[in-house]
Amino acid sequence: MAEGLRILAPGVATTLQDAGRQVYLRYGISGSGAMDPDLLALANALVGNPADAAAIEMAMLGPTLVCEAEGCRVALAGAPFAMGLNGRALDPFTAHDLRRGDRLTFGAPRQGLRAWLAVAGGFAVAPMLGSVSTHTRTLLGGLDGHSLAAGDLLPLHAPRPTGRSLTLPPAHRPRFGGPIRVVLGPQADSFTEEGLRTFLSASYTLTGRADRMGCHLDGPPIAHADGFNIVSDGIVNGSIQVPGHGRPLILLADRHTTGGYPKIATVISADLGRLAQVRPGETIRFEAVTVEAAQSLARGARRTLAARLAALVPAGGLDLDSAFLLSCNLIDGVVSASPTGSAA
């Protein structure tokens, strides 16, 4: 019998995601991948996986899972979802060991929107076009290209946990919020001066039309200088299109690769993760920065991730099940640096 995690209830938009697809944009294949690669890396580090191993991405309302393996180790990084093991509350940003029959539940996050649940050793799911990332619109990745559904079994590579489990001390955990910084262009000249001022000064509210493909914003319309059709060109993660109605649409991981509306700006890579935590109904403001500043901020974000990974410590206290710990081989307490398998 396959060893794995069984989905009892899927939550709202629960998918498998890794670092995404590369080199196929030119063929119309969306990049997909975790909406915050740094938090994917953090969740993976907590269970000893490579940074880009596939994890369960959850949004808004998380799944309920049952462990159908001899044992496995999981960790959640991202928005603070209510998380429970057989009804007992669990700490996020901490690795937890599950035994056969354990029920892992996720509610809604107190703040933010998305989180990543990594499993030690990764999921034994075959990549499609180089990635396990689920792209539901084209049925790529995941289990047959679909969001996770009740009854699905996610097979595991190496279910048995080894070594001490890790935690990220609260002082190092991410906080969300703040302005979303952008680089203006590539078609900023398709808008009037007034339109650009509106874009950079107004507050925009995320509408209910917000998913992994993109989020539609509501707020003051942005004036185009000269119509709103361009000859289709390439779109990146974070491209902000402004269709004829003047309200921005931010294209994200699951976007089309090309599009024909002018793009007023691009969200900088360092802020895509924070944007992924904005909920429908919440407002954002845009702040323009230069390309050089954006590249410097990206380096800063990588330093922050490195600092978080360096801050991981063995989970302290006595909240671990000591009988279970004794059943594991803890003689040397070494965390495995080379999991036996990775879905990446």
Partner 1 sequence: MSEPAYRLLDCGDRALTVELGRAVDPVINAQVVALDEAIRGAGRPGLLETVPTYRSLLVLYDPDRLPRADLVALIATHWPPPVTRAGAVRRWRVPVLYGGEHGADLASLAAAAGLSEAEVIGLHAGCDYRVHMIGFAPGFAYLGGLDPRIHASRRTDPRPRIPAGSVSIGGNQTGVSPPLELPSGWQLIGQTPARSYDPARAEPFLFAAGDLIRFEPIGHAAFDAMSAAALAGETVATMERIDG
User: Residues in the site for partner 1, rule: CB under 8 A?
Assistant: 22-29, 128-129, 138-140, 182-183, 185-187, 230-236, 238-239, 256-258, 263, 266-270, 291, 294-295, 297-299
| Cα gap 119→95, rounded to integer Å | 9
If the CB atoms of residues 138 and 207 are measured against partner 1, the closer one turns out to be 138
SS3 state at 258: strand
One DSSP character per residue, 4-60 reads EEEEEE--SS-EEE-S---S-GGGT------S-HHHHHHHHHHTT--TT--EEEEES
If the CB atoms of residues 105 and 190 are measured against partner 1, the closer one turns out to be 190
Tokens of 41: 């890396």
CB 226 within 8 A of CB 262: no
Residue type for 230, please?
I
If the CB atoms of residues 83 and 265 are measured against partner 1, the closer one turns out to be 265
| Shortest Cβ 305–partner 1 spacing (Å) | 14
| Shortest Cβ 298–partner 1 spacing (Å) | 6
| Shortest Cβ 284–partner 1 spacing (Å) | 16
If the CB atoms of residues 39 and 240 are measured against partner 1, the closer one turns out to be 240
If the CB atoms of residues 124 and 129 are measured against partner 1, the closer one turns out to be 129
Tokens of 72: 């496995």
| Shortest Cβ 140–partner 1 spacing (Å) | 6
| Cα gap 91→80, rounded to integer Å | 9
| Residue 59, φ and ψ in degrees, nearest 5 | -145, 135
If the CB atoms of residues 7 and 250 are measured against partner 1, the closer one turns out to be 250
Q: Residue 157: name the closest of 76, 64, 50 by CA.
A: 50
Peptide bond into 186 cis (omega under 30): yes
**Residues β-bridged to residue 77:** 116
| Shortest Cβ 252–partner 1 spacing (Å) | 13
| Shortest Cβ 204–partner 1 spacing (Å) | 18
If the CB atoms of residues 164 and 274 are measured against partner 1, the closer one turns out to be 274
Q: Residue 59: name the closest of 340, 330, 254 by CA.
A: 254
Q: How many residues does the chain have?
A: 344
| Cα gap 8→262, rounded to integer Å | 43
| Shortest Cβ 61–partner 1 spacing (Å) | 27
Q: Residue 198: name the closest of 172, 231, 225, 216 by CA.
A: 225
